[in-house]
Structure 1
Amino acid sequence: MLLHATQLLLGGLFLYLGAEWLVKGSSGLALAFGLRPLVVGLTVVAYGTSAPELTVSLAAVLEDRGAIALGNAVGSNVANLGLILGLTALICPPRVEGGLIWREIPVLVGTAAVVPLLLLDGVISRLEGALLCAASVGYTAWVIQSARRGAQGGAAAVARPSPPSPDERGAFAAAREMEIDAERAGAPGGRGKRRLALITAVGLGLLIFGGKVFVSGAVGVALGVGMSERLVGLTIVAVGTSLPELATSMIAAARGHSDIAVGNVVGSNIFNVLIILGAAALARPLAGSPAGMAVDLAALGGVTVFAAIAMRTERVLRRAEGAALLAMYAAFLAALILAA
Structure 2
Amino acid sequence: MIMTIFAVLTGLGLLVWGADRFVDGAASTAKHFGMPSLLIGMVILGFGTSAPEMVVSALAAMNGNAGIGLGNAYGSNIANIALILGVTAMISPIKVSSAVLRKELPILTLVTALSIFFLADLYLSRLNAVILLVLFFFLMAWAIVQGVKQPCDSVEHSDPLAKDVETEAVEYSLPLNRAIFWLAAGLLLLLAGSRIFVWGAVAMAGMLGVSDLIIGLTVAAIGTSLPELASSVLAARKGEHELALGNVIGSNLFNTLAVVGISGVIYPVAVEASVLYRDMAVMGILTLSLFVLGYGFRGKQGRISRFDGGILFLVYVCYTAGLAISVIKS
TM-score (structure 1 length as normaliser): 0.88
Unaligned 5+ runs, structure 1: 156-161, 180-188
SS of 1:121's equivalent?
Answer: coil
- CA distance 1:207–1:240, shift in 2 (3 Å): same
How many matched pairs?
323
1:162-182 CA-partner distances (Å, limit 9, x unpaired): 9896345311233257x4xxx
Shifted more, 302-311 versus 289-298: the winner is 289-298
Matched-pair contact (CA < 8 Å) for 1:151–1:165: no
Tell me the secondary structure at the aligned position of residue 81 of structure 1.
Answer: helix
**2:163 aligned to which of 149, 163, 169:** 169
Cα distance change of structure 1 residues 97 and 8 upon mapping to structure 2, 3 Å threshold: same
Name the structure 2 match of 1:216. Answer: 199
| Corresponding residue of 2:62 | 62
**Aligned equivalents of 2:220 and 2:153: distance in 1?**
43
Match of 2:307 among 320, 330, 337: 320
Q: Name the structure 2 match of 1:186.
A: none
Closer, same or farther: CA 48–292 of 1 in aligned 2, 3 Å: closer
Question: Would you say 1:3 and 2:3 are equivalent positions?
Answer: yes
Corresponding letter in the other structure for 1:301? G
Encode CA deviations 1:146-204: one digit per residue, 9 max, x unaligned: 3445537749xxxxxx9896345311233257x4xxxxxxxxx7322x44222211111
Q: How does 1:25-174 map to 2 (within 5 A)?
A: 25-151=25-151, 154=154, 166-174=160-168
Q: Which residue of 1 aligns with 2:257?
A: 274
Render the CA deviation track for 1:260-297: whole Å, top value 9, x for unaligned. 11100111001101110011111111321445542111
Q: How many angstroms does 1:223 deviate by?
A: 2.2
Which stretch has the larger CA shift, 25-34 or 44-53?
25-34
| Amino acid paired to 2:242 | D
Return 168-177 or 232-241, whichever deviates more: 168-177
Supply the distance in 2 between the matched residues of 1:127 and 1:165 (Cα, whole angstroms): 33
C-alpha RMSD of the superposition: 2.2
State the TM-score, normalized to the length of structure 2: 0.91
Is structure 2 residue 221 aligned with structure 1 residue 234? Answer: no
Amino acid at match of 1:318: S
Per the alignment, residue 282 of structure 2 pairs with 299
Instruction: Give structure 2 stretches of 5+ with no counterpart.
Output: none
CA 1:151–1:286 in structure 2 vs 1: closer, same or farther (change >3 Å)? farther
Are 2:39 and 2:166, in contact at CA under 8 Å, matched by a contact in 1?
A: no
Contact 2:72–2:217 (Cα < 8 Å) also in 1: yes
Helix, strand or coil at the partner of 1:95: strand
- The answer for the alignment partner of 2:324 in structure 1 is 337
Q: Is residue 26–residue 197 contact of structure 1 (8 Å, CA) maintained in 2?
A: yes
CA contact (8 A) 2:86 2:310 kept: yes
In 1, the alpha carbon distance for the partners of 2:314 and 2:117 equals 27
Distance 1:152 1:255, change over 3 A: closer
Secondary structure, counterpart of 1:173 in structure 2? helix
- 1:190 equivalent in structure 2: 174
- Equivalent of 2:184 in 185, 190, 201: 201
Q: 1: distance between equivalents of 2:285 and 2:159?
A: 32
Q: Which amino acid aligns with 1:118?
A: F
Deviations 1:231-283 (A, max 9, x none): 11111110011111111212222232232111001110011011100111111
Cα distance in 2 between the residues matched to 1:224 and 1:176: 46
Partners of 1:329 and 1:291 lie apart in 2 by 17
Q: Which residue number corresponds to residue 257 of structure 1?
A: 240
